[in-house]
Amino acid sequence: MKKVKSKKLVKKLDNKKKKINYKILLISILSVFLVASIGSFFTFQGIKTGWYDSIKPSITPPDWVFSYVWTFLFCLIILSCYLSLTSTKDKILKLKVQILFGFNFLLNILWSFFYFYLKQPAIAYFNLILLLASIAMLISVIWKINRKAAWLLVPYFFWVSFAGILNYLTAFI
């Protein structure tokens, strides 16, 4: 009887092993890398002028914190994107996830563009509200596909919320 149970357990574990879909993994990595690169370009344009230092709220973390946090968050976003796209065979749901990630990526880039490149914190703040809504929608939709993938986006939501506080302070106070 023990051998039968162990054979069933081994068979169950073998069935759970998934092969890596390198195409989706590469697309996830390249998409997020592109977002990070474009966003960084706009960010550095505003930082190098000294403009941001002149309006930076006192509760702003040291500059070096941002690069580490965003690198970590972008890694989580890559994993979430990959897991959500490989965890469902429903083509409509996959398309919905792709559209939501695309919209989120666009809003992420636009925030850096409005805030740092155009130096328009008020416009950036309203963009950030949409960005937060898009993260919440992603979490909600992905939750139905893969809860781990959804949880991976929670730190992103909280960091952008904190960025919203900093953005609000520079735009309206």
Q: What string of DSSP letters covers 14-30?
A: HHH-----HHHHHHHHH
State mean pLDDT over 14-39. 91
Q: Is 119 left (phi over 0), alpha (psi -120 to 50) or beta?
A: left
Dihedral pair phi/psi, residue 16, rounded to 5°:
-75, -25
Whole-angstrom distance, CA of residue 109 vs CA of residue 134: 13
Q: Which domains does the chain have, with CATH numbers?
A: 21-56+63-172 (1.20.1260.100)
Residue 69's pLDDT band, with cuts at 50, 70 and 90, is very high
Sequence-distant (6+) residues with CB within 8 A of 1 are none
Residue 10's pLDDT band, with cuts at 50, 70 and 90, is low
State the pLDDT at residue 18.
75
State mean pLDDT over 132-160. 98
Question: Residue 6 above 90 pLDDT?
Answer: no
- pTM attached to this predicted model: 0.89
State mean pLDDT over 65-75. 97
